[in-house]
Structures are given as structure tokens and as C-alpha cells.
Chain A
Amino acid sequence: MTKDNTLSMAEQADKYLKKVALGTFCIAIAFIFRAGKMLVEPDLAFYFQAGQMFFGFSVLLFLMPATLRFIKLRAENQACKEEDGYISQMFQKAGFHAFQFTFLFLTAIDVFAVDFFEAHSVELLLRIAVAGLLGSFSISFYRLVHINDDDDDLEESIQA
């Protein structure tokens, strides 16, 4: 029996959301490589291509099995559909932060960096914007979630 099987449905749902956020961060890195590829010399572009492929396939490899397992859990157990737990709420909050960041970024580009459009393609801007969107989402999520909570002081006294 794996460790995952001993976790409650709610814990498994939280764990899955954390994996999704990590996967989102990897996709953001892949997009940074993709954008960087357009800015470097052709001989260096190979390394950026390799980086993009590495992070892209990493996400597929570790997120795909987790997603399939989670879909199965959701189908089997109603508890997994609970969306008002702490991690779920922070996930939604991180999405809101990412929207704010992207909106401000695109507005700033539109207002202050008119030259950018003349010097670079829209494709590059889109790649940077997507990387920023996904990166800000995952960083915001981990910043919100990884705040130390109080230790459960009853755990030891009950076990004793």
C-alpha cells in the first residue's frame, strides 16, 4: 500500500492542487525558455529548446498520472469535491493574484513600453505574458500556503 492510500480524500485533494501549482510553475519556466529562444543567437537557441522540452515533458510525466488518479478519486468519493478547504481557497486566491499581475503587466506594457511593440513581435510579448501569468500564480500559491501553521499540541498528549 502506498503512502497516498493512507491519506484522507481531503488531504489527497490538497496534495493534487499543490502538484498542479508546481506543474504550473514548470510550464511558466518552459514559456520563459520559449520566449528566450526568440532573443538569443541561433546557436544558443538549441539549449533554450532543450530547456523548454525538459520542463514541458516533466509536467506531463508527473502531472498526468496525478490528474488521472484525482479524476478517479473524484468519481469515487464526494469528499474530493469539497471546494471550501484552505488549500482550495488559496488556489483561487492565487488565481486572482495572477490575474491582477497580468492585467498590470499588460497595462504597463501598453502605456510605458510602446517601443517594445516596434522592436519585438507580439508572439514574444504573449509568451512573456503567459510565463508571467503562470509564474505569478504558482509563486503566489506557494507563498500563501507555505506559511507555518501552529503545531498540533494535542497530537502527542493523545498518543501518550
Chain B
Amino acid sequence: MRETLENRIRVYRAEHKLSQGELADIIGVSRKTISTIEVGRFVPSTVIALKLARHFGVSVEDIFSLSSPSGATDT
């Protein structure tokens, strides 16, 4: 059974009124990195995940979660 990494970056970006480019500049990565994380194509490193969490003022688990094919989500 393969689990997938889901994220709520888009939601937090909307709340903070940030574009992908602006968030990328704040975190110190490229816009492509943010966009590929958002769509689930790229699993970020722990460092990037922690930087995102720190910027939004939430825990890493609030942004990222594992979901199984059955639909259950583990945070």
C-alpha cells in the first residue's frame, strides 16, 4: 500500500496572500520548488519543510500529512 504526501501550502499561501514566487524568496528556494511541492511532484527536504512551517507559524504536521489510498490521513 503506497502512501502519498499531501500538503496545505496552497491554503496557507492564500491565507497569507503570498504568490509562489514570494514564498519561494522568503524560504530561499526557487518558484519551481514551491510549485512542484504544492502539486505533490516533489517531496521537500526536512529543512525546507521546517522553513515553511516556521514562516507560517504552524507545525510541519499542519502543512504535510500522509494519506493512504483508502483515504485515511495521518498527520
Contacts and interface: CB of A to CB of B under 8 A. Distances in A.
Contacts of A85: 29-30, 32-33, 48
Interface string B22-50: 00110011111101111101101101100
B33 A87 contact: yes
B28 A82 contact: yes
B14 interface: yes
B35 A152 contact: yes
Nearest to A150: B39
B29 A152 contact: no
A14 B32 contact: yes
Using C-beta atoms within 8 Å of the partner chain, give the interface range for chain B. 20 to 34
B36 A86 contact: yes
Given A152-B19, A158-B19, A82 B35 contact: no
B24 A10 contact: yes
B28 A154 contact: no
A87 B41 CA distance: 12
B29 A82 contact: yes
Given A145-B32, A154-B14, 5 more contacts: A10-B24, A11-B31, A84-B48, A86-B37, A152-B19
17 contacts: A8-B30, A10-B24, A10-B28, A11-B24, A11-B31, A79-B28, A84-B47, A85-B29, A85-B30, A85-B48, A86-B42, A87-B32, A145-B32, A149-B32, A152-B20, A154-B13, A155-B20
List 5 tightest A-B contacts by C-beta distance, closest first. Answer: A84-B45, A149-B35, A86-B33, A152-B20, A10-B30
